[in-house]
Amino acid sequence: MKINNYKILLAGLILLIASCDKDFEEINRNPFAPTQTDIGPLFNTVVASLRLGWNEQFYVHNETLYGITQQAAKTGVGFDNINIGIEEVWNGYYRGLAHIRELERRLDDMDVEPEALNNVRAQLKVLLAYKTFRLTDLFGDIPFFNAGKGFESLDYARPEFDSQEEVYKFLLEELQWVEEHINAAPEPTTASGEKYVSFGDFDNLFYGDIWKWRKFANSLRLRHAMRMVEKDPAYATPIIKDIIENNLPVIQSGEEVGMHPRQQDWRNEGVNWSFREHNKLRMGATIWHNLSENDNSDGSGIYDPRAFVFFEPNNANEWAPFPQIPEPGTPPSGGIPYERHRDNNYSIKGNANIYSPFNYYLIRDEVDIPEIILTAAEIGFIKAEAYFRGLGVAQDEGQAEAEYTLAVVNSLKFWQNLAAGSEIWSNAPPVLSEGELYAVVNHPRLSIFTTENKLELIYAQRWMDAFRQPWEAFALSRRVGATPREGEMPEYYRLTYPPSEAENNADHWAEQVARMGEDSQRVKVWWMK
Same domain for 388 and 516, yes or no, is no
Q: Which of 128, 166, 22, 9 is nearest to 504 (CA)?
A: 22
Same domain for 275 and 159, yes or no, is no
Residue 363 one-letter amino acid? I
CA distance 284 to 233: 35
Q: Is residue 281 part of a domain?
A: yes
Q: How many structural domains is the chain composed of?
A: 2
Q: Is residue 233 part of a domain?
A: yes
Given a contact cutoff of 8 angstroms between Cβ atoms, the answer to whether 516 and 523 are in contact is: yes
Q: Is residue 351 part of a domain?
A: no
- Of 29-43, 46-60, 232-246, 461-475, least confident by mean pLDDT is 29-43
pLDDT in tens, 413-472: 999 999 999 999 999 999 999 999 999 999 999 999 999 999 999 999 999 999 999 999
Residue 16: which domain range?
Answer: 1-65+78-250+491-529
Domain of residue 183, CATH code: 1.25.40.390
Q: Is residue 427 part of a domain?
A: yes
pLDDT band at 35 (very low <50, low <70, confident <90, very high): very low
Computed over every residue of the chain, the mean pLDDT equals 92
- Chain-centroid distance, C-alpha 243: 21
User: Is pLDDT at 347 greater than 80 in this prediction?
Assistant: yes
> SS3 sequence, 377-406?
HHHHHHHHHHHHHCCCCCCCHHHHHHHHHH
- Checking 199-202 for CB contacts under 8 A at 24+ apart, the result is 199/39, 199/40, 199/43, 199/44, 199/120, 199/123, 200/40, 201/40, 202/40, 202/41, 202/43, 202/44
Q: Is residue 261 part of a domain?
A: no
Given a contact cutoff of 8 angstroms between Cβ atoms, the answer to whether 476 and 483 are in contact is: yes
Same domain for 40 and 150, yes or no, is yes
Same domain for 273 and 221, yes or no, is no
The SS3 assignment for 284 reads strand
Q: Is residue 102 part of a domain?
A: yes
Beta bridge partners of 302: 292
Given a contact cutoff of 8 angstroms between Cβ atoms, the answer to whether 97 and 45 are in contact is: no
Q: Is residue 316 part of a domain?
A: yes
Same domain for 287 and 242, yes or no, is no
pLDDT band at 80 (very low <50, low <70, confident <90, very high): confident
Same domain for 313 and 240, yes or no, is no
User: Is pLDDT at 7 greater than 50 in this prediction?
Assistant: no
User: Is pLDDT at 398 greater than 90 in this prediction?
Assistant: yes
- Per-residue confidence (pLDDT) for residue 41, from 0 to 100: 95
Where do the H-state alpha helices sit in 7-117?
Answer: 24-27, 39-48, 54-55, 66-69, 82-109
Given a contact cutoff of 8 angstroms between Cβ atoms, the answer to whether 166 and 172 are in contact is: no
Same domain for 288 and 420, yes or no, is yes
The average pLDDT across 44-73 equals 97
Same domain for 184 and 274, yes or no, is no
Q: Is residue 70 part of a domain?
A: no
The average pLDDT across 193-198 equals 97
For residue 282, the surrounding DSSP H or E stretch is: strand 281-282
What is the value of pTM for the model shown? 0.92
Same domain for 34 and 141, yes or no, is yes
- Per-residue confidence (pLDDT) for residue 76, from 0 to 100: 86
User: Is pLDDT at 267 greater than 90 in this prediction?
Assistant: yes
pLDDT band at 151 (very low <50, low <70, confident <90, very high): confident
- Of 17-26, 66-75, 302-311, least confident by mean pLDDT is 17-26
Same domain for 310 and 420, yes or no, is yes
Same domain for 462 and 526, yes or no, is no
Same domain for 502 and 476, yes or no, is no
